[in-house]
Amino acid sequence: MTSELTPQEAARGALRAGLPLGDGRHEEVAMTANHIHSVISTLRELDFGETPPASSYRAVQGNADATV
């Protein structure tokens, strides 16, 4: 498991990406990035077994008529 992103690391990464953060935003951005990381980590742990990829499903409009 990786350690959490610190506010200083968030500011450094944002600056490297050309998105300088205001001084008050470092902590909020780090918290958001850490939350996103935890959600993605949870999703990676899910076992989908034999579930086919979404691209194998075809959405078709069914009959909207309520009569039997």
Q: What is the pLDDT of residues 1-28, one digit of tens each?
A: 568 999 999 999 999 999 999 989 999 9
Using the structure block, give the residue that is written with the tokens 């034999």: 50
Identify the DSSP state of 17. Answer: T
Q: What is the mean pLDDT of residues 40-45?
A: 92
Question: 37 falls in which pLDDT band (50, 70, 90)?
Answer: very high
Going by C-beta distance under 8 Å and a sequence separation of 6 or more, which residues neighbour residue 2? Answer: 37
Angle formed by the axes of helices 7-16 and 26-45, nearest 10°: 90
Instruction: List the structure tokens of 47.
Output: 């076992």
Summarize the confidence of residues 59-67 as an average pLDDT.
68
Task: Please indicate, yes or no, whether the overall pTM of this predicted structure exceeds 0.75.
Answer: no
